[in-house]
Amino acid sequence: MPLLKDEPPDPVRSLGELFAIAAAMEHEAATRYAEIAERMRREGNPKLADVFERLSADEQGHLDGVVHWSQKTKGHDPDPARIRWELPETFDDEGAATTDPKLLGAYRALSMAVRNEERAFAFWSYVAAHARVPEIQRAAETMAHEELGHVATLRRERRKAFHAERRPLGRRQADDDGGKDLAALERRLADLLDPLATQASPQERERLEGFAAEARRHADELAQSLIAMPGDRSIAGPPDDPVALAELLTDRYLEAGDALRDEEALRRVQAMAGRAIARLAWLRSDLPELQKR
Question: In terms of pLDDT, which residue wins out, 19 or 160?
Answer: 19
- Per-residue pLDDT for 17 more than 50? yes
Average pLDDT over residues 83-98: 83
- Asked whether residue 4 is domain-assigned, the answer is no
- Residue 178: band (very low, low, confident or very high) from pLDDT cuts 50, 70, 90: low
Last residue of a domain, one of 105, 136, 166: 166
Same domain assignment for residues 37 and 159: yes
Looking at the structure, do residues 160 and 178 belong to the same domain, yes or no?
no
Report if residue 79 sits inside a domain: yes
Instruction: Say what the pLDDT of residue 91 is.
Output: 85
**Reported confidence tier of residue 190, pLDDT bands at 50, 70, 90:** very high
Total domain count for the chain?
Answer: 2
Q: Give the pTM.
A: 0.68
Q: 108-146: per-residue pLDDT in tens?
A: 888 889 888 888 988 999 999 999 999 999 999 999 998
214-271 confidence digits (pLDDT tens): 999 999 988 887 566 655 444 446 778 898 899 888 888 887 777 777 778 888 888 8
More confident call, 278 vs 258:
278
Whether 259 is in a domain gets the answer yes
Q: Where a domain ends, among 166, 185, 206?
A: 166
pLDDT > 70: what percent of the chain? 86
The Cα 152–Cα 118 span in angstroms is 10
Mean pLDDT, range 6-25, rounded to an integer: 92
Asked if the model's pLDDT at residue 173 lies above 50, the reply is no
pLDDT at 4: 64
Given 166, 191, 212, which residue is the final one in a domain?
Answer: 166
pLDDT for the residue 169: 33
| Higher-pLDDT residue of 96, 228 | 96
CA distances from 250 to 85, 101, 261, 283 (A): 34, 29, 19, 12
